[in-house]
Structure 1
């Protein structure tokens, strides 16, 4: 795409559309890590830095969510809360956090992916100790809200950066495999809860992840900006300057600029993008509803109804994360081999079958066996889920569109749907029926994927939609 002189600077080059490289890209081409991903054809060390950065972000996300789930029984006990009171507090935090799902990707469409990714992770690391030191439940909820707001944009930024830099033939595989780091974060959270929370209390366990703030420096220093985003900014500037001096632009440029100069919620529902938005909303909302019950209530379910100790269910989470890691790595290989749709359906059906068997199990042996079996598909389907939402939108609104889709999905799956789970628990006195809703939702999602989700395996981003 560009040629580099002996002193490391770029000479005038042409972009993928055949025009001169814009001034912003000329600036970025001075840096070796940007040049390494500018063509997108060959995998370089910089590609791996980007993948590792995304994986770290997912790992922090898994650590955060699982630690707070594992210590939930201790928090409820310390603050003398009823289950509805605890649920309401967490839903307030989730509701505030939903704003972060839109805010950070929306900001990334204006200022780029890389820097905001590092900021998200640094804020997460600095806010964890604040939550750990909360003297009252109200302050705990406030700290939790800020954590959600800070972290909720991180994984979508990382997924977009991977999607916009890695070659198309590997895009789904890398997004899915880096997504598996969430499971390693969950495993680490289980180990922290089992070793630290069980012996020193939940506050000490929540404090531990704060030490990872320095990793944001690694992300900021090794990852380049997305070439897709850079070129979109140059194209916007070129068209704007041409129109300002009374020049004319092509019909394609004119149509593109009319959309690109107004990034926001309205664009996500315009006729050319609406089909992608509806598919992404279906996938995202189904994903969060499926995960919501397990993410919020499994430790409490194992503690109160299966009579597991903190140490035992924390150990289960260690293997839960490891099995999910295996599932997502397997999915990462399958997603580019047999396609998104087939992999989606296989993982959903596998998870639904073993989740059903798990709910009806009473012995520890079968709870462990079926529990670890459903982890493969239950966590594995997030590979194609996050791949689809990262690749289905045009670059000009990829951040904002991801923010809109996942903000709506979080509201549906993590704010509204828990009312269903708690209502069923309060009515029956058990979480069993709430957990049995999950296989039903997974089968329904598999049917929807078969009917509505298009196949994007191996396609360049600009081939999918632009």
Structure 2
């Protein structure tokens, strides 16, 4: 079915007519797609690495040979990282719409690498806190540029499962961070005093290696079309098709074309009009999903090490061991459930994963309060809960990245990431750090109850109002502002 065929309100001289979106969507899965996923999806691996390092090293950072921090300061480190991510998303998201996806996903990774490397040399809380903010700045920018690029390069029929799997790769980074902490904190290797510093230095080296790989990922042809660079977009797509054809043989015909004005990124006023008027219901769903999952995840995960050390007396150098079953559940959830988001549909699967993860969290919190769990069973319960919650959280990012027009995509991702993460993610670690410091199981369980209620309500809201975006071209879900049909309301 044609995407967009006419654009009567745009002068012919300024219109760019192209079948490039349809040609990208009809491509069979290939090694080229795997390379894109590997090069760009590492953003979530790095985020998982960073979050887990601070979570696993929280107990060590409280020791004199660490930095001598207290529980509240460890909670602040998590919140400052989130604050940096919020700022980075807003700044770099706007720039990604103006200057391109590729430019920004190179810059943001460089910011992350530099700040993470500097963290390894932190002499005290102040320097460490600044580095955490700057690290978050890079990661927040990654989310906007990377989600935009991935959605605009991946075929529509598999966009849901690919996006969920990539977001779930956060937990590969979590497992890597846990493994690094176990290895480097071992007194036979480096020990607590130097081990935590080496862990951050190695994370920075990984980012530099990925930066070299990322240089070969092309700019989004859809973005190039919007900015009047049709010849460059055509060259990129021809090169992609040649690589895919060499592996898969003859390609199916592309059905449909689109006409775009050469207009560039949307103004802030236009973005506000899209989010608050034209697609206000989509915005409400996106906000509910992002806020609830941010509180759910950040509140629990940033303070996971503190729960293990304070309530279960797990030694500091063994905390990382308990991250592995937790990470396993989080990785498997999006991988196994992701295809259902393309087959069964977005609305039903979002609702199912959100509601069931909320119920699981509430039950686990009750068992924790009653003292029925030990460290091992607590880890297994989290693994089961977050098998569902990981797919749910990933679907929030998928929703935000595919339901708004091309001109506003990166900034829309940034806005909802910033608002959702800023409210749920910043408050959560501080609240749970305080609740854990109180030593009361009932207080911590009450925090879990808040998180459970938020995701259940968000899931039910999505069931009623979310968009059926499965297997649809991005231009069909939300026509570009400059295309015929781009002025339609939901």
- 1:317 positional shift: 0.9
Q: Is the 8 A contact 1:120 1:150 kept in 2?
A: yes
**Alignment-derived partner of residue 452 in structure 2:** 439
2:137 pairs with 1:154: no
**Alignment-derived partner of residue 220 in structure 2:** 226
Q: Which moved more, 1:267-276 or 1:437-446?
A: 267-276
Change (3 A) 1:22 1:161: farther
2:139 pairs with 1:177: no
Rounded Cα–Cα distance in structure 2 between residues aligned with 1:393 and 1:277: 9
The equivalent position to 1:306 in structure 2, one of 308, 312, 337, is 312
The equivalent position to 1:403 in structure 2, one of 397, 411, 414, is 414
Rounded Cα–Cα distance in structure 1 between residues aligned with 2:179 and 2:362: 27
Change (3 A) 1:451 1:40: closer
Q: Which moved more, 1:357-366 or 1:280-289?
A: 357-366
Q: Is the 8 A contact 1:68 1:206 kept in 2?
A: no
Q: Is the 8 A contact 2:45 2:169 kept in 1?
A: yes
**Alignment-derived partner of residue 449 in structure 1:** 462
State the TM-score, normalizing by the size of structure 2. 0.79
**Alignment-derived partner of residue 44 in structure 2:** 58
Q: Is the 8 A contact 2:53 2:181 kept in 1?
A: yes
Change (3 A) 1:420 1:73: same
Number of matched pairs: 430
**Residue aligned with 1:48, SS:** helix
Structure 1 residues 129-180: Cα deviation after superposition (integer angstroms, max 9, x where no partner): 2111101110111111111111112133222111112121111111011112
- 1:197 positional shift: 2.7
Q: Is the 8 A contact 1:425 1:434 kept in 2?
A: no
2:106 pairs with 1:118: yes
Q: Which moved more, 1:256-265 or 1:311-320?
A: 256-265
Structure 1 residues 198-236: Cα deviation after superposition (integer angstroms, max 9, x where no partner): 432222222221211121111111x11112211111199
Change (3 A) 1:39 1:86: closer
Q: Is the 8 A contact 2:84 2:135 kept in 1?
A: no
**Alignment-derived partner of residue 203 in structure 1:** 197
- 1:39 positional shift: 3.5
State the TM-score, normalizing by the size of structure 1. 0.83
- 1:58 positional shift: 1.3
**Alignment-derived partner of residue 302 in structure 2:** 296
**Residue aligned with 1:152, SS:** helix
**Alignment-derived partner of residue 12 in structure 1:** none
**Residue aligned with 2:277, SS:** coil
Rounded Cα–Cα distance in structure 2 between residues aligned with 1:263 and 1:230: 22
2:353 pairs with 1:344: no
Gaps of 5+ in 1: 1-14, 30-34, 237-251
Rounded Cα–Cα distance in structure 2 between residues aligned with 1:188 and 1:464: 37
Which fold has the larger relative contact order, with Cα–Cα distance below 8 Å and residues 6 or more apart in sequence?
2
Change (3 A) 1:92 1:372: closer
Structure 1 vs Structure 2 CA RMSD: 3.3
